[in-house]
Amino acid sequence: MKRRLYFLFPDSGHARTVVNELEAQGIQRKFIHAIAGQGGDLGGLPAASRLQQQDLGSRLERFLWGSNLIVFFAALFVMVVMVLLHIGWYWLLLPVGLMLASFLMGLEFVTHIPNVHLAEFRDAMQHREILLMIDVSAGQVAKVEELVHRHHPEAVTGGVGWNVEALQL
């Protein structure tokens, strides 16, 4: 799983300069994605795919979170029914274990898998700013952030998210 870095630039000229510098540092163009709002210029920039522009990752995250909640409350309901029917206590371990597993998966997801959503950048992109998304390994995050900030103080850091390359999100 790669990390996705988000940077906002005031115009496409600044973004193109950063893309060229990143390519010079060995980051392939296929791992750099640019999005602009209505009327924004993406000339010379690697445009984001349709899936990346629709923020499918955000929808996937909401689906998984909702599914986790459904599993948790279904197990809670089953546990309450089992208690009311006076079923042996050892059978209660099944829904309790399922609830605990659901809780721990949700906790792991929330605390260890950061994500940034495109909705956070909509206002800036409406003002013709360019959002650059850069997919790098976890070990390259600090290097790329340092490179962008050292040479481009006009860049606004939007955060770090996750990216599943196989899903092309």
User: Are 44 and 77 found together in one domain?
Assistant: no
Q: Which residue has the tokens 């309450």?
A: 80
Taking only the tens of pLDDT, the chain with its 169 residues reads: 788 888 999 888 888 999 999 999 999 999 999 988 777 778 889 988 887 777 666 777 778 788 888 888 888 888 888 888 888 888 888 888 888 888 888 777 767 666 677 777 888 877 888 889 998 888 888 899 988 888 888 888 887 776 666 455 5
User: Are 49 and 125 found together in one domain?
Assistant: yes
Structure tokens at 42: 């993406």
User: Are 39 and 82 found together in one domain?
Assistant: no
Count of structural domains within the chain: 2
User: Are 43 and 7 found together in one domain?
Assistant: yes
From 112, 127, 144, give the residue that closes a domain.
112
The contacts found for 17-23 with CB under 8 angstroms, 24 or more apart, are 17/152, 18/132, 18/148, 18/151, 18/152, 18/155, 19/44, 19/45, 19/46, 19/132, 21/147, 21/151, 22/134, 22/144, 22/147
pTM of the entire predicted model? 0.70
From 112, 129, 158, give the residue that closes a domain.
112
User: Are 30 and 66 found together in one domain?
Assistant: no
From 112, 132, 147, give the residue that closes a domain.
112
Full domain range(s) for residue 67: 57-112
Contact call for residues 35 and 131 (beta carbons, < 8 A): yes
User: Are 22 and 102 found together in one domain?
Assistant: no
